[in-house]
């Protein structure tokens, strides 16, 4: 974060012609600039939180924290945005899991694999 802020500060100083300003003028401008940068960073963090994709992992048993974390990481990478997933039981899946986030579904269940195999055999 400080590297980005330092880079922005250097660009700002160059833009305003810092060599023509007094020390007290520069201090005031830099203070104002840093307040703006901090505010923008906080606004971005708040916006990132709003963009958190919330969903559910359906599984045949309750998953432990490590399993939920692994599936959450997988879903985050697949969707390209941070995910927060709850866990619910769905015995009809037979085995595996199914993730539902809005209208997106990641289905790694045995029920889904069997349905694909059935469709494949029927379409031959």
What is the value of pTM for the model shown? 0.58
Residue 25 in tokens? 């003028």
* Rg (the chain; Cα; Å): 25
- List pLDDT tens digits, range 33-89: 788 888 888 877 766 666 788 999 999 999 999 999 999 999 999 988 889 999 999
Among residues 97, 100, 81, 80, the alpha carbon closest in space to that of 89 is found at 97
- Mean pLDDT estimate for the chain: 85
Helix count and strand count (H, E) for the chain: 4, 4
Residue 94 in tokens? 């037979």
Cβ neighbours, 10 Å, residue 79 = 16
d(CA 47, CA 82): 12
């Amino acid at each position: 974060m400080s590297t980005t802020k330092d880079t922005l500060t250097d660009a700002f100083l160059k833009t305003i012609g810092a060599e023509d300003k007094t020390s007290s003028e520069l201090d005031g401008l830099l203070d104002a600039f840093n307040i703006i940068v901090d505010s923008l960073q906080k606004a971005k963090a708040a916006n990132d939180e709003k963009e958190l994709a919330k969903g559910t992992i359906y599984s045949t048993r309750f998953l432990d924290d490590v399993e939920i974390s692994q599936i959450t990481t997988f879903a985050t990478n697949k969707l390209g945005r941070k995910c927060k997933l709850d866990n619910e039981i769905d015995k009809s899946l037979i085995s595996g899991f199914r993730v539902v986030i809005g209208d997106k579904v990641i289905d790694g269940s045995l029920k889904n694999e069997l349905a694909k195999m059935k469709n494949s055999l029927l379409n031959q």
